[in-house]
Amino acid sequence: MISPSQPPHAPRFHWRKPTADEIAHFRARNEPVPFSYTALGQSSSGHPAGYTLDHNRVMLGRGEEIWKRACAALENWRMFPRVWTAIEPATEPIRVGTTFAMLAHAFGVWWMSACRIVYRVDETTADGRKYFGFAYGTLPAHVEEGEERFLIEMLADGSVWYDLRAFSRPRFWPVKMMRPLARRLQKRFVRESLAAMQQACATPE
């Protein structure tokens, strides 16, 4: 760990990948902590004042088989670029209220941020469109503040889309100081997340 004096509800920084015990301790410490923002649920369609909005989507293919692959990939967090990001524990069911640790690795440093599932989407409309996904929101122990939604859509024409929508702003002081660099990482995540979902639908596990 880089500094033992980090506040108890702050993101954790390490020179090496955190161990399973460190991840479990981090999650347990953040279980009772409230969200770090008040605009809960607005990743579905809102744009809270003072936050940067990012909205990106990519077509994954067509038909029921692609839909099933995409939903399975989302439930297993395959939209996270595996080279430098991860969600722990990735095997736990995605339920509203569950707290996860988001791990990232860049510039020689690992860090853990705390997030919690805000809502799930599982809907079929009268005209045959399908929606499946969820959103997580940040806790105080996160480098950013805001909410991100991961959504799979199957439209009436059979096309299947991955839709990524988020509002955010820096919370941790180093991120505020290095905002352009943080935005580069966010845009990298978007690019690689879209590509990861395309790959997941092309080659299911």
Q: How far is CA 128 from the centre of its chain?
A: 27
pLDDT of residue 138: 97
For 62-72, what is each residue's pLDDT tens digit? 999 999 999 99
Residues present in the chain in total: 205
- In the three-class reduction of DSSP (H, G, I as helix; E, B as strand; rest coil), residue 132 is classed as strand
Of the pLDDT bands very low, low, confident and very high (cuts 50, 70, 90), residue 14 is confident
DSSP per-residue string spanning 35-72? PS-S-TTGGGT---TTSEEEEEEEEEEESHHHHHHHHH
The answer to whether residue 157 scores a pLDDT higher than 70 is: yes
What is the average pLDDT across 186-203?
A: 95
The least confident of 1-15, 67-81, 110-124, 181-195 is 1-15
Taking a C-beta distance cutoff of 8 angstroms, is the pair 117, 135 a contact? Answer: yes
Residue with tokens 């939903």: 71
Nearest-10 Cα torsion for 152, 85, 101, 45: -30
Of the pLDDT bands very low, low, confident and very high (cuts 50, 70, 90), residue 153 is very high
